[in-house]
Chains A and B, each alone.
Chain A
Amino acid sequence: GDQVKQSPSALSLQEGTNSALRCNFSIATTTVQWFLQNPRGSLMNLFYLVPGTKENGRLKSTFNSKESYSTLHIRDAQLEDSGTYFCAAERASSFSKLVFGQGTSLSVVP
C-alpha cells in the first residue's frame, strides 16, 4: 500500500544531466534495496543499503533511517539508464519481508 512511496512517478532526462529519485517510508525500515527494471522486464539489483551512503559508478544512494527516506542519484544520465526504478524496504518488525514502492519510470532522451 502506502508503506513505501516513490517520487516522482515518472521523469524524462536529457542525456548527460543529473537527477535524484526518492523513497519515503511510513514503516520502520532496517535496510533498503534499489532495483532497475529494464524495458524487457528484468529486475537488476543496484544497491543494498543499511543507513548510510553507497556509490557505484554514476549512481549514488543514501538511506536515512531516522528520517525514513532513501535517495538514488543518477549522474551524467545515459540512454541505457532508462527503465523503472524501484526501492524496497525491509521492515524492522518482519525480518526479510521486503515491501516495494510503485516505481519511478525514467526515460533518458538524446
Chain B
Amino acid sequence: EAGVTQSPRYAVLQEGQAVSFWCDPISGHDTLYWYQQPRDQGPQLLVYFRDEAVIDNSQLPSDRFSAVRPKGTNSTLKIQSAKQGDTATYLCASRGQGSNERLFFGHGTKLSVL
C-alpha cells in the first residue's frame, strides 16, 4: 500500500514569492491534515479536511495561506506571499474512518524563505 506522498521535497523562496505544496493521501483515507513544523518544535495543525470539506482552519493564516481538497482526495496548500517566519517543514497526514485509525505522515516539504 502506498503511503502519503508529498511534493516537492524542498523549496527555497525569496520573501514575497508564492509556493504550492501537494499531497496525495493514502487511498481510502477520508481525513487529511496539513501541519507546519518549525525547526525543533512539534507539528502545529494548520487545517484539516474530511472528504472535501474543511473541518477546522482556525490556525491557517488566512491572509496568505489557502488549502483545498476539491475531490476529497489530493490536496494543495498554497502560500501567497511567503515570509521568513514561514520557514518550516510542511507535513501532510491522513487517516481513515473506524475506531482504530492511526495517523500517517508524508515525508514533508522543507521550505526555506530567504
Q: Which residues of chain A have a CB within 8 Å of any CB of chain B? A: 33, 35, 41-43, 45, 48, 86, 88, 94, 96-103
Contact = CB atoms under 8 A, between A and B. Distances in A.
Interface of B: 31, 33, 35, 41-45, 48, 50, 55-56, 89, 91, 93, 95, 100-105, 107-108, 110
A45 B104 contact: yes
A96 B55 contact: yes
Nearest to A6: B42
A6 to B, nearest CB: 8
Nearest to A102: B42
A98 B45 contact: yes
Contacts of A33: 102-103
Q: Chain B's interface: helix, strand, loop or mixed, by majority? A: strand
Contacts of A42: 105, 107
6 contacts: A45-B103, A48-B100, A96-B48, A96-B55, A97-B48, A100-B35
A75 B104 CA distance: 25
B102 A98 contact: no
B102 A45 contact: yes
Contacts of A35: 103, 105
A86 B45 contact: no
B104 A100 contact: no
A102 B8 CA distance: 25
Nearest to B89: A41
A96 B95 contact: yes
B91 A96 contact: no
Given A42-B107, A43-B105, A97 B42 contact: no
Contacts of A96: 31, 48, 50, 55, 95
A48 B95 CA distance: 12
Given A33-B103, A43-B43, 10 more contacts: A42-B107, A43-B93, A45-B104, A48-B102, A96-B31, A96-B55, A97-B56, A98-B45, A99-B45, A103-B41
Nearest to A43: B105
